[in-house]
């Protein structure tokens, strides 16, 4: 009887134990965040206060009860100006910046490092090298000027906060540049990624040895991002808005497939969202169709899309293989440092398949999918909340805590459009023109399932 009781107690203890090795403790008195544009809360190509308050680190800070969680807030319309939906009836939709000028930092003079040190555009190497004192040569160095303010790197400033818990998601830009640029040549080498990732965790563990920590892996499913899943790789008949068929088969667009090799896009290719406006003028139409109606009305018919406009199956495989390698590095480095790993890759896979959230389904559809903003690759407020929830679930499993999952109630209300033209579409807040708001109202059954006050 004693042996049975002992066995039962051991089983109970094993079930109750955290699923991951976890360093430090789940103390959220002082949170520090290492990250990029996702951590910063960029939505629709803009860093601004309207969305920063819904950044995934801010959501976690709220759910854990962390006090005085400071972020480098920027006034609306943000840096750069938030994208605005102007016309949803025609393809490609008309999307314009909300203003010709940027917003400005709101709390630039905070006399200590921000808790959220995420720098848009940063890669793994930047978090231990970029300080904000550097000349502006790109996105990361531009944002670092007012986020890091020359006070040290992301990691150094995180350590200076004497954090009790560190949230980390970095590495997306080591792969995203290749995706947005249409070429695997822009991928970070694996050895460089490994060196930089280990350097980051080595410094954090040495500088904050008693802090709890958590990292996240990187999505590999390009179909989850509207930037690559929206524009069809075949010719669309302007009269029917359906694929043009010859011999019963859709006619592929033509493009530079690499090295000046012009040809039809292979099955499984992706056309990037930025090429949509070019296709509307005739780019991608084969020369043999360029002189025939209605394609002879397009000034650029017969010209191929650029290599940077498309991703072929070979290129997609190269990117996915490299990101898989990155995730192996993250898993190995995290395990060596006793840091749990949140499954962000799994979250994106579920979004790509269609993620049921209460009465709606989130997916990678452009504009109506709900999980992403108008730039096609940054998440929406709802998307970042789901991102935060993935971290919260991992923290609870690893540290034995019971932090409540962030609710999505505010994003699923069914209210009317505001007079300013702000609208929620499947949980995605957008600013739009009055004309577009009227179009939304008129065509709601086709485009929008829910409206809510923002």
Residue 199 and residue 140: Cα distance in Å, rounded? 19
Q: What is the pLDDT along the chain (454 residues), one digit of tens a residue?
A: 444 444 444 444 434 334 557 999 999 999 999 999 999 999 999 999 999 999 999 999 999 999 999 999 999 999 999 999 998 777 668 899 999 999 999 999 999 999 999 999 999 999 999 999 999 999 999 999 999 999 999 999 999 999 999 999 999 999 999 999 999 999 999 999 999 999 999 999 999 999 999 999 999 987 789 999 999 999 999 888 899 999 999 999 999 999 999 999 999 999 999 999 999 999 999 999 999 999 999 999 999 999 999 999 999 999 999 999 999 999 999 999 999 999 999 999 999 999 988 778 899 999 999 999 999 999 999 999 999 999 999 999 999 999 999 988 777 765 333 333 333 333 343 343 444 333 333 333 233 222 222 2
Helices (H), 182-338: 190-207, 226-229, 276-279, 287-290, 313-336
Cα–Cα nearest to 74, from 39, 50, 43, 99: 50
Token pair, residue 167, equals: 């949230």
Tokens representing 238 are: 């302007």
CA dist., res. 256 & res. 265, Å (int): 9
Would you state the pLDDT for residue 20? 57
Crossing angle of helices 313-336 and 172-181, in 10° steps, is: 170
Task: Count helices and strands (H / E) in the chain.
Answer: 16, 18
Residue (of 15, 348, 49) closest to 176 by Cα position: 348
Residues 6+ apart with CB under 8 A from 450: 360, 412, 413, 414, 424, 425, 426, 427
What is the C-alpha to C-alpha distance for residues 31 and 39, in angstroms, rounded to an integer?
Answer: 13
- Give me the half-sphere count of Cα atoms (radius 13 Å) on the Cβ side of residue 445: 0
pTM of the model: 0.86
Taking the alpha carbons at both ends of the chain, their separation in whole angstroms is 62
Helices (H), 110-153: 139-147
Peptide bond into 92 cis (omega under 30): yes
Has domain 16-224+314-447 been given CATH number 3.40.50.1110? yes
Cβ-Cβ contacts under 8 Å for 53 (sequence gap 6 or more): 41
**Rounded distance between C-alpha atoms, residue 378 and residue 279, angstroms:** 23
Q: Which residue has the tokens 């958590």?
A: 214
Report the pLDDT value the prediction gives residue 451, as an integer from 0 to 100.
26
In three-state secondary structure terms, 212 is strand
CA triplet 20, 328, 225: central angle to 5 degrees? 100
Domain boundaries, the chain: 16-224+314-447, 234-267+270-311
Q: What is the pLDDT of residue 241?
A: 87
pLDDT for the residue 91: 65
Tell me the residue length of the chain. Answer: 454
290 Cβ contact partners less than 8 Å away, ≥ 6 residues apart: 282, 296, 298, 301, 302
Instruction: For residue 417, give both structure tokens.
Output: 């459009």
Tell me the C-alpha distance between 125 and 137, whole Å. Answer: 15
Instruction: List all residues 6 or more positions away from 204 whose beta carbon is below 8 Å from its beta carbon.
Output: 34, 155, 158, 159, 166, 168, 211, 213
């Amino acid at each position: 009887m004693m042996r049975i009781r002992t066995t039962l107690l051991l089983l109970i203890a094993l079930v109750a134990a955290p699923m991951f090795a976890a360093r430090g403790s789940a103390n959220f008195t002082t949170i520090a965040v290492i990250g990029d544009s996702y951590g910063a809360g960029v939505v629709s190509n803009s860093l601004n206060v309207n969305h920063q308050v819904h950044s995934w680190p801010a959501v976690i800070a709220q759910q854990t009860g962390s006090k005085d969680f400071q972020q480098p807030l920027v006034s609306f319309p943000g840096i750069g100006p938030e994208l605005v939906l102007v016309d949803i009836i025609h393809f490609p939709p008309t999307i314009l910046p909300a203003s010709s000028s940027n917003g400005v930092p709101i709390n630039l003079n905070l006399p200590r490092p921000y808790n959220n040190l995420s720098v848009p555009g940063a890669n793994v190497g930047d978090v231990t090298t970029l300080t904000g004192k550097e000349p502006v040569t790109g996105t990361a160095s531009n944002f670092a000027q007012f986020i890091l303010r020359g006070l040290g790197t992301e990691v150094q400033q995180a350590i200076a906060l004497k954090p009790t818990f560190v949230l980390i998601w970095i590495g997306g830009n080591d792969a995203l540049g290749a995706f947005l640029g249409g070429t695997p040549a822009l991928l970070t080498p694996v050895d460089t990624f490994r060196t930089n990732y280990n350097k980051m965790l080595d410094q954090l563990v040495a500088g904050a040895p008693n802090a709890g920590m958590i990292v996240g892996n990187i999505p590999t499913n390009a179909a989850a991002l509207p930037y690559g899943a929206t524009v069809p790789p075949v010719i669309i008949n302007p009269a029917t808005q359906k694929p043009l068929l010859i011999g019963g088969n859709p006619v592929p667009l033509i493009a530079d497939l690499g090295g000046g090799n012009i040809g039809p896009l292979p099955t499984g290719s992706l056309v990037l969202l930025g090429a949509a406006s070019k296709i509307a003028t005739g780019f991608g139409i084969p020369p043999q169709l360029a002189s025939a109606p209605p394609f002879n009305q397009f000034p650029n018919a017969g010209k191929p899309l650029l290599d940077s406009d498309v991703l072929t199956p070979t290129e997609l495989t190269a990117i996915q293989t490299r990101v898989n390698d990155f995730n192996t590095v993250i898993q190995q480095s995290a395990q060596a440092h006793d840091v749990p790993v949140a499954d962000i890759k799994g979250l994106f896979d579920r979004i790509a398949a269609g993620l049921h959230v209460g009465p709606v389904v989130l997916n990678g559809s452009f504009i109506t999918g709900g999980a992403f903003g108008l730039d096609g690759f940054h998440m929406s407020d709802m998307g970042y909340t789901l991102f935060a929830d993935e971290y919260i679930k991992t923290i609870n499993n690893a540290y034995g805590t019971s932090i409540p999952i962030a609710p999505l109630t505010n994003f699923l209300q069914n209210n009317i459009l505001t007079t300013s033209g702000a609208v929620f579409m499947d949980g995605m807040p957008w600013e739009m023109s009055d004309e577009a708001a009227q179009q939304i109202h008129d065509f709601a059954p086709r485009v929008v399932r829910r409206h809510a006050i923002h």
